[in-house]
Amino acid sequence: MTTATEAKNPLKDWVPETRTLLLGDRSAEAAGETWDVYNPATEAVIATVTGASSGQVDEAVAAARQAFPAWAALSGEERSRHIHRFADVLEKAADRLLPSIVNEVGTPVSLAEYLQVKMAVDEHLRWAAEAAKTDRTIHLGEFDKPVPTMSDVVHQPVGVVAAITGYNYPLNLAIFKFGAALAAGCTVVLLPSPRTPLTTLFLGDLIKEAGLPQGVMNVVIGGADVGQQLSSHPGVDRVSFTGSDGVGAKIMEQAAANIAGVTLELGGKSPSIVLPGVNVQKIAVEMHLRWSRNGGQGCAALARLLVHEAVYDEFLDAGASAFDQMVVGDPWDRATNIGPMIRPDHQVRVRGFIDGSVAEGGTKLLEVTKSLPEKGWFVNPVLLGGLPHSARAVQQEIFGPVAVIVPFKDTEEAIRLANDTPYGLAANVWCDDLVEGRRVAEQVRAGTVWINGGGAMRPDAPFGGYGKSGVGRELGEWGMREYLEVKHIQWRI
Ligand code: NAD
């Protein structure tokens, strides 16, 4: 007998069978190291995969290099058609992309449907396909010192892009990179996290099905050694990386060997500021359900709550019902909103932040106390308080279902605290006066600042960070520019 959930998700247990790399038009058996891939919700091994050998990394880069001149020479309209066709294929494969992501990342299905699949393809890849058509030439006009001249500025693709992604959003993070890179006229070698390689291996099949010209998109998998080879490869012109700031720093160094440009989308410790006068009854639940989304494994998780002291107690009371609404467990259960941590070492690390904070004098102000499933690397969500702003749990990215709350006396202190971490990826300002909210938003040093919760992740708006949250921007016209060289052409008149 099938349950209602199974009936709705006939492909629930499906994981991609593809284990081959995509090197040019060749699906190649990988010849490097072998490792297991787990379902973090069940601890079961769902695949055993083999990474690229060093020779295969060279082959992938060579294929991308060879494909580059012809792809770059296509008109924007032609590239747009190719990208739209690829999006059509991805849309048709959504029923398989979804279980692939749920089973390898552990994202609850109710969240994954839109955030991990539909948004990535319908919004972001389609936007990039349209952006391919834009003529970015700027006519600067006349300049007459010492002789009269005219100038144009044109934009041309940078070349071969190494696109290296983190584990938490395997499809989105890849699309943010290759959508813009392909639209700009670049060719790509894609390398996913070794913890979640299956969706990207499956992409290799879909790239072929979409009929993208040979070598325009290549797929390799592997660990740090493959990432290192790729990001320091003399055949790579730009490295676009999403992951931790520690690895980001290494990538910068590795790419420096070839003076290759880098785009780095790194971690954060993003604040959510509750200004005086805000009706906390209306916002507390939303705030807690937001930072705990994807089990807190989101780069822009607003997990540092800065709350005005006048509403602090009321805010805590109002938030208690959010913790009642948190359901930790089976990602395929539509009631679940908190899935597992990606691996047991990460589960231990997240719990270490909780226990360490309590040992340092912090308090668990709110927590889910229900018993956890026997299998799976789950952590019950916790709100920590009573910690100084300098505490480890307040300063560092935890990347789990743990938030910290810090009270402030006045708005200037809130702004100072908001800016008092090495990061600057995102922030939110809750206010009852938009003028004041906007004033605060302007002063918070972060790449994205939402006011009163903001809205959807727009494909036409930049995303990226200040400070240790990164270098450069993805999405929108700013994301396109990461993959374009700028050329000044000047002639005498
Ligand atoms: P990670 O840094 O551990 O790994 C990311 C990738 O780097 C993996 O593919 C890995 O194989 C590769 N890698 C490891 N060592 C390398 C090396 N020396 N050279 C080249 N590549 C190497 O990150 P993660 O744990 O997979 O992802 C979580 C992190 O990503 C968090 O810090 C999160 O905030 C960040 N993130 C940022 C954004 C953003 O847009 N700013 C989005 C999602 C995740």
Any bridge partners for residue 471, and if so which? 264
Amino acid at position 410, single letter: D
The predicted pLDDT at position 9 comes to 66
The predicted pLDDT at position 268 comes to 98
The predicted pLDDT at position 11 comes to 86
Q: How far is the CA of 472 from the centre of ligand 1 (A)?
A: 16
Average pLDDT over residues 422-426: 98
The predicted pLDDT at position 7 comes to 46
SS3 at position 437: helix
4 falls within a domain: no
Mutate to test the pocket of ligand 1, among 49, 169, 228, 242 (most ligand atoms within 8 A of CB): 242
Average pLDDT over residues 454-480: 97
82 falls within a domain: yes
209 falls within a domain: yes
Q: Are residues 197 and 282 in the same domain?
A: no
Q: Are residues 256 and 306 in the same domain?
A: no
Contact 149, 490 (CB under 8 A): yes
Q: How far is the CA of 248 from the centre of ligand 1 (A)?
A: 7
Contact 467, 425 (CB under 8 A): no
Q: Are residues 197 and 99 in the same domain?
A: yes
Sign of the CA dihedral 184, 186, 190, 193? negative
Is 343 a residue whose pLDDT tops 80?
Answer: yes
Question: What pLDDT band is residue 3 in, cutting at 50, 70 and 90?
Answer: very low
Q: Are residues 329 and 445 in the same domain?
A: yes
The predicted pLDDT at position 8 comes to 59
List, in sequence order, the alpha helices (H) in 21-125. Answer: 54-73, 76-92, 94-105, 109-111
Q: Are residues 258 and 360 in the same domain?
A: no
Q: Are residues 198 and 52 in the same domain?
A: yes
Average pLDDT over residues 23-36: 96
How far is C-alpha 135 from the geometric centre of its chain's CA atoms?
Answer: 28
362 falls within a domain: yes
pLDDT > 70 in the chain, percent: 98
- 214-240 confidence digits (pLDDT tens): 999 999 999 999 999 999 999 999 999
What CATH number is given to the structural domain containing 277? 3.40.309.10
Whole-prediction pTM value?
0.96
Mutate to test the pocket of ligand 1, among 37, 226, 244 (most ligand atoms within 8 A of CB): 244
Q: Are residues 253 and 317 in the same domain?
A: no
Residues taking part in catalysis: 265, 299
Domains contained in the chain, number: 2
Is 6 a residue whose pLDDT tops 50?
Answer: no
Main-chain phi, psi angles of 29, to 5 degrees: -60, 130
Q: Are residues 283 and 250 in the same domain?
A: no
Ligand 1, atom nearest to 245 Cα: 32
Rounded Cα distance between 104 and 47, Å, is: 10
12 falls within a domain: no
SS3 at position 291: helix
Q: Are residues 288 and 258 in the same domain?
A: no
179 falls within a domain: yes
Ligand 1 atom 14, closest CA: 224
Mutate to test the pocket of ligand 1, among 191, 193, 250 (most ligand atoms within 8 A of CB): 193
pLDDT > 90 in the chain, percent: 97
Domain that holds residue 194: 20-266+469-492
What CATH number is given to the structural domain containing 49? 3.40.605.10
Q: How far is residue 455 from each of residues 362, 452, 473, measured CA to CA in Å?
A: 33, 9, 19
119 falls within a domain: yes
Residues contacting 345, CB < 8 A, separation 6+: none
SS3 at position 236: coil
Q: Are residues 258 and 192 in the same domain?
A: yes
Contact 187, 82 (CB under 8 A): no
Is 2 a residue whose pLDDT tops 60?
Answer: no
Question: What pLDDT band is residue 120 in, cutting at 50, 70 and 90?
Answer: very high
Q: How far is the CA of 36 from the centre of ligand 1 (A)?
A: 19
Ligand 1 atom 10, closest CA: 193
Q: How far is the CA of 226 from the centre of ligand 1 (A)?
A: 13
Q: How far is the CA of 166 from the centre of ligand 1 (A)?
A: 4
Contact 449, 469 (CB under 8 A): no
Structure tokens at 268: 């954060």
Mean pLDDT score across all residues of the chain: 96
Q: Tell me which residues have their CB closer than 6 angstroms to ligand 1.
A: 164-169, 173, 191, 193-194, 223-224, 227-228, 231, 242-244, 247, 250-251, 254, 265-268, 299, 397, 399, 425, 470
Q: Are residues 104 and 206 in the same domain?
A: yes
Contact 462, 475 (CB under 8 A): yes
Crossing angle of helices 224-231 and 54-73, in 10° steps, is: 40
- 248-283 confidence digits (pLDDT tens): 999 999 999 999 999 999 999 999 999 999 999 999
Q: Are residues 187 and 223 in the same domain?
A: yes
14 falls within a domain: no
